[in-house]
Structure 1
Amino acid sequence: MSKTVEFFFDLGSPATYLAYTQLPKICAQTDSQLIYTPMLLGGVFKATGNASPATIPAKGRYMFQDLDRYAKRYGVPLKFTADFPINTLMLMRAVMGMQLRHPERFLTFIDCLFHALWVEGRNLNDPATVAAVLTQNGFDPNEVLALTTDEEVKATLKDNTEKAVQRGVFGAPSMFVGDQMFFGQDRLDFILEALS
C-alpha cells in the first residue's frame, strides 16, 4: 500500500501556507502521495469551540513571531495582509469547486491563491482583488464565482469539514498519516518520521 499524507487545509491559515510549502518536498523525499482536502476552518472552529490564536493578544503576538521564524527556516516569504484574519468561505468553495470540476488545474489554482495571500499579502476578502488575482493567473473570475454557488461543491466542502471534525481535527493545518493526526506546520518532522 502506498504511503499518503492527507492534508486538511484552509487558505486563510498562515501555518497552513507554511505546511503547504514543505509537504510536497516531504512527500517526494519519502515517495508518498499528498492528498489535498479542502475544509472550512471557521466551521471547524465553530464545531470544536476553538478560535484563531490571533484573537488572544499574547498568543497572537507570539504566533506571528513563531511563524516568521519558521518562514525563515524554510526559506519562504511570509507576508500578512492588514485584513488578517479573513473570511475564507467563498475562497474555499472556489478551491473545492476547482478540485471537483477542474482537477487538472487545482494545484495551479491553490498556488496562485496561496501566493497572493501569503507572499504578496493581498486582501482576498475583497472580491475585486480576488478577480484580479484570478485573471492574472489565467482563470476566469466568473467561472470561478459560479463554482462557489454549485450545490455539490458547497455540500462537499461541508462534508469534508464535518469529516475532519469527526476525525479529531480542531484547527489547520491538520495532516493524517494513516490514523495518526499531526496538527500544525511545526509537526512536519513527525510526518517525515511516520513516512520514513
Structure 2
Amino acid sequence: MSKSVEFFFDLGSPASYLAWTQLPELCARHAAQLVYRPMLLGGVFQATGNASPVMVPAKGRYMMLDLQRFAQRYGVAFGLPAGFPLNTLGLMRGLTGMQLQAPERFEALLALLFNALWAEQRALGDAQVLEQTLAAGGFDPQQFAELAAQVEVKQALKAATEEAVTRGVFGAPTCFVEGQMFFGQDRLDFVDQALR
C-alpha cells in the first residue's frame, strides 16, 4: 500500500511555506501521496493555548533568523510580507473552497498564494493586492470571494481545524505519516525517514 503525508498548514505560517517548498519533491522521491490539509492556525492556537513565536520578542527574532537559514539551505526566496502576522481567515476559506469545488486548480492556487506571500512579500491582507494577485495568476477574484463566503466551506475549514486539534496539532506545519506526528518544517528529515 502506498504511503501518504498529511500536511496541515496555514498560508500565514512562514514555516508552512518552507515545508511546502520541499514536501512535493520529498513525497515524489518515496512515491508517497501528499495530502493537503488546510487549517486555521489562529483556531489551533485558540484551542490549545499556544501562540505565535513572534509574541515573544527574543524567540521571534531567533525564529526569523532560523527561517532565513532554512530558506538559504533550500535555495528558495523568503521574506516577511507587509502586515505580518496576518489574519488568514479569508485566504484559508477561499483556498479550502477551491480544494473542495475545483480540486484540479487547488495546487496552482496554493502555489500562487504561498509564493505571493513569502517569495514576493505581497500584502495579501489588503483586498486590492489579493484581487490583483489572483487575477494575475489566472484566478477570478470574485469566484474566490464567493467560495470563501460559502457556509459549507466555512464549516469544512472549521472541521479540519478541529480535527487537527483532536489529533494533537498545536502549530503549523504539522505532518502525519502512518499515525506519526511531526511538527515543524525543520522535522522533514524525520518525515523522510518515516517514508523509507
TM-score interval, smaller chain: over 0.9
Equivalent-residue separation in structure 2 for 1:101 and 1:180 (angstroms): 29
After TM superposition, the structure 1 = structure 2 runs for residues 154-165 of structure 1, keeping only pairs within 5 Å, are 154-165=154-165
What count of residue pairs does the alignment treat as equivalent? Answer: 196
Equivalent-residue separation in structure 2 for 1:136 and 1:188 (angstroms): 32
- Note the aligned Cα RMSD (angstroms): 0.5
How far has the Cα of 1:82 moved from its partner? Answer: 2.9
Residue-by-residue CA offset, 1:83-136 (whole Å, 9 max, x unaligned): 110000000000100000110100000100001000000101101100000000
After TM superposition, the structure 1 = structure 2 runs for residues 1-196 of structure 1, keeping only pairs within 5 Å, are 1-196=1-196
- Which residue type is aligned with residue 95 of structure 1? L
How far has the Cα of 1:151 moved from its partner? Answer: 0.8
Runs of 4 or more consecutive aligned structure 1 residues displaced over 2 Å after TM superposition: none
Scaled by the length of structure 2, what TM-score is found?
A: 0.99
Residue-by-residue CA offset, 1:6-41 (whole Å, 9 max, x unaligned): 000100000000000000011011110000000000
Q: Which runs of 5+ in 2 are unaligned?
A: none
Equivalent-residue separation in structure 2 for 1:61 and 1:97 (angstroms): 34
Equivalent-residue separation in structure 2 for 1:144 and 1:114 (angstroms): 16
Aligned residues: percent identity? 61
How far has the Cα of 1:168 moved from its partner? Answer: 0.1
Instruction: Give the secondary structure class of the aligned counterpart of 1:148.
Output: helix
Equivalent-residue separation in structure 2 for 1:156 and 1:98 (angstroms): 12
Equivalent-residue separation in structure 1 for 2:74 and 2:158 (angstroms): 32
Q: Which runs of 5+ in 1 are unaligned?
A: none
Instruction: Give the secondary structure class of the aligned counterpart of 1:168.
Output: coil
Residue-by-residue CA offset, 1:132-190 (whole Å, 9 max, x unaligned): 00000011100110001111100000000000000000000000001100000000000
